[in-house]
Amino acid sequence: MRSVGVEEELLLVDPDSGEPRAVAGTVLALEDLARGDDPELEKELQREQLETATRPTKDMTDLAAEVRRRRATAVERAGAVGAAVAALATSPLPVDPSLSAGRRYRRVAEEFGLTAQEQLTCGCHVHVSVESDEEGVAVLDRIRPWLAPLLALSANSPFWQGHDSGYSSYRSQVWGRWPSAGPVEVFGGPERYHAHVRQLLDTRTLLDKGMIYFDARLSRNYPTVEIRVSDVCLDPDDTVLVAALARGLVDTAARDWRGGR
């Protein structure tokens, strides 16, 4: 059984008005005091959002408990500074996002202008374990047709800047502005995958490997395939469903690859 981990991006909002609030720095300072070297919350591109990450697990009941516990931590920390947490992939209300502090984020803003400035979106990223880069790329090549259905199942962002966008997932439209976002070609093997990444970096299309925003990619930090296409889900049960389906897709694709299909 393959292990699964989930990263969720969450909005920080005013508990009365629902307007996004740029308080991530204060929330994360409280988290640092409480957790030290093992924080459950991390910063994201904008100060109006946080990221949570579960531990890898093979049991979906355990994953559901982890997702809820991480969300509860975010709610507790945000509440301590007078904010609330919303599991929404875009803000329903107008917002002028505030870039998080740090040299890398400043470089992103300098290079990508309005794309970075307006980018306040929250996704759900599912990590599924793989045995090697070879297996991982074989999986990426085979799950491509199923990523759009995963997005459709998770869609949770119909509004943008106070307007009905006409989309169920407008996050996917906004996210698609990044030069590496979206679906990718069939690679056929890890050599071509890594060559494609090097080309994006060598041509300065991207600043670093952290900006490999493919709908699904090999993780930089873990022996996993990272499926990044989904909106963050309003209901944590839907997060677990997306994770279970992602694992099923990865396992089926790997089995087909091993069988020469």
SS3 letters across the chain? CCCEEEEEEEEEECCCCCCECCCHHHHHHHHHHHHCCCCCEEECCECCEEEEECCCECCHHHHHHHHHHHHHHHHHHHHHCCCEEECCCCCCCCCCCCECCCHHHHHHHHHHHHHHHCCCCCEEEEEEECCCHHHHHHHHHHHHHHHHHHHHHHCCECEECCEECCCCEHHHHHHCCCCCCECCCCCCCHHHHHHHHHHHHHCCCCCCHHHCCECEEECCCCCEEEEEEEECCCCHHHHHHHHHHHHHHHHHHHHHHHCCC
Asked if CATH classification 2.60.40.10 holds for the domain at 4-258, the reply, yes or no, is no
pLDDT of residue 37: 67
Q: Look at residues 4, 3, 8, 5 and name the one whose alpha carbon lies nearest to residue 230.
A: 8
Res. 102: pLDDT tops 70: yes
Q: The pTM is what?
A: 0.95
For the segment 170-190, the average pLDDT, to the nearest whole number, is 96
Determine the pLDDT at residue 5.
97
Percent of the chain past pLDDT 90, that is, above it, reads 96
Q: Is the pLDDT of residue 39 over 90?
A: no
Mean pLDDT of 64-76: 97
Give the model's confidence band at 34: pLDDT under 50 very low, under 70 low, under 90 confident, else very high.
confident
pLDDT tops 90 at residue 25: yes
Segment 199-210, tens digit of pLDDT = 999 999 999 999
Mean pLDDT of 54-68: 97
Q: How confident is the model at residue 35 (pLDDT cuts 50, 70, 90)?
A: confident
Lookup result for tokens 């600043």: 207
Write the CA distances from 232 to 67, 118, 154, 168, integer angstroms.
12, 18, 7, 13
